[in-house]
């Protein structure tokens, strides 16, 4: 996508969006190669102290079942995303290069740090509190999630409701993630909407639904007193794609997100409205650029999957970060 500064200006305008993936993006051993990158080990050590979790151990030697645990997965993903961001920017501030930041579900905590609301280790500390509360809520309410791929949107919504589940993620591109009790997910699998495919997901609970109510209430108390600055970069909210400019409002939305659906479709619509020309997805990347390929086909995109992508990411940032006359 190319935008111009105005008729007759001859100015090519570029805008970089930095996006952060959510839970499920983690893979065993994903941090092993990163430990060779200067500064990465120190960044992860600070995140580990903030979370009280052995993030390096879980990111190098733990198996898939271990890192699927919500209490581990969420801080691990946020720490990895922010480590990759700092490695790519190499001391530059996000506000110097990006016009907007956003994160999918738990990735919104990465986005909050990228927007300058709090330090990276503070974001990891905060998300660790969320993760523990959500893990507890999931244990209290056995439940799960399933991706609904394809189908008519109205029919998909009706089928999810008929099964007794909720639309937890509306991702765009014909992808909706349903969540609910195991019985509800089983009912959806047995009675899928027309022309849709159901894919059960290996997650520990029905995130972004009323079944996470106890976690939301407890987390609201935590974020109420959490120190934060107003965002210094446009920060998109998962709730509706709104640009949030106030720290207290951003924190409130982080809490409400626990029981509310992630509207990534609306976040992508807002990226288009803002005139984004390049989307850089932080590690462990791939999911969000995959969605953008279908919904924002004219926007350039690059996913950071490992340290081998650092040079390409720096070139991508340079290409989309500034205005060219």
Give the CA angle between residues 210, 213, 215 to the nearest 5°. Answer: 135
Give the active site residue among 51, 62, 81, 105: 105
Q: Is 62 a catalytic residue?
A: no
Helix (H, G, I), strand (E, B) or coil at 166: strand
Give the CA angle between residues 86, 92, 97 to the nearest 5°. Answer: 100
Check if the beta carbon of residue 225 is closer than 8 Å to that of residue 240: no
Q: Which pairing describes strands 100-103 and 16-20: parallel, antiparallel, or unpaired?
A: parallel
Q: How far apart are CA 304 and CA 280, in angstroms?
A: 8
Q: Which pairing describes strands 3-4 and 12-13: parallel, antiparallel, or unpaired?
A: antiparallel
Token pair, residue 8, equals 């007759």
Q: Is 324 a catalytic residue?
A: no
Beta-carbon count within 10 A of 251 CB: 24
Helix (H, G, I), strand (E, B) or coil at 224: helix
- CA 262, 264, 265, 270 torsion: positive or negative? positive
Q: In the chain, where does DSSP find H-type helix? A: 40-51, 55-60, 64-68, 70-89, 94-97, 107-114, 120-140, 153-162, 182-190, 213-224, 247-256, 264-274, 287-295, 310-320
Give the active site residue among 43, 58, 104, 208: 208
Residues known to be catalytic? 105, 208
């Amino acid at each position: 996508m190319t935008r111009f500064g105005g008729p007759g200006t001859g100015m090519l305008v570029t805008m970089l969006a930095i996006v952060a993936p959510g839970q499920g993006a983690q893979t065993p051993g994903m941090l092993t190669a990163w430990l060779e990158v200067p500064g990465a080990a120190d960044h992860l050590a600070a995140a580990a102290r903030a979370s009280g979790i052995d993030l390096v151990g879980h990111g190098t030697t733990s198996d898939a079942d271990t890192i699927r645990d919500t209490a581990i997965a969420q801080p691990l993903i946020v720490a990895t995303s922010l480590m990759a961001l700092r490695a790519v920017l190499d001391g530059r501030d996000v506000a110097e290069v990006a016009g907007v930041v956003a994160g999918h579900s738990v990735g919104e905590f990465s986005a909050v740090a990228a927007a300058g609301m709090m330090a990276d280790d503070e974001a990891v500390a905060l998300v660790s509190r969320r993760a523990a509360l959500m893990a507890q809520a999931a244990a209290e309410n056995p439940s799960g999630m399933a991706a609904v791929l394809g189908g008519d949107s109205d029919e998909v919504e009706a089928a999810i409701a008929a099964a007794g589940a909720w639309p937890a993620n509306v991702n765009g591109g014909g992808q909706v993630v349903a969540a609910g009790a195991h019985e509800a997910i089983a009912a959806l699998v047995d009675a899928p909407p027309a022309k849709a495919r159901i894919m059960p997901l290996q997650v520990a609970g029905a995130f972004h639904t009323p079944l996470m109510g106890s976690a939301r209430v407890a987390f609201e108390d935590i974020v109420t007193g959490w120190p934060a600055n107003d965002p210094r970069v446009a920060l998109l909210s998962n709730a509706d794609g709104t640009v949030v400019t106030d720290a207290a409002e951003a924190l409130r939305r982080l809490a409400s997100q626990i029981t509310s659906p992630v509207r990534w479709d609306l976040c992508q619509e807002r990226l288009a409205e803002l005139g984004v020309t390049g989307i850089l997805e932080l590690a462990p990347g791939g999911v969000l650029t995959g969605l953008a390929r279908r919904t924002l086909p004219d926007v350039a995109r690059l996913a950071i999957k490992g340290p081998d992508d650092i040079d390409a990411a720096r070139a991508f940032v340079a290409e989309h970060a500034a205005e060219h006359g």
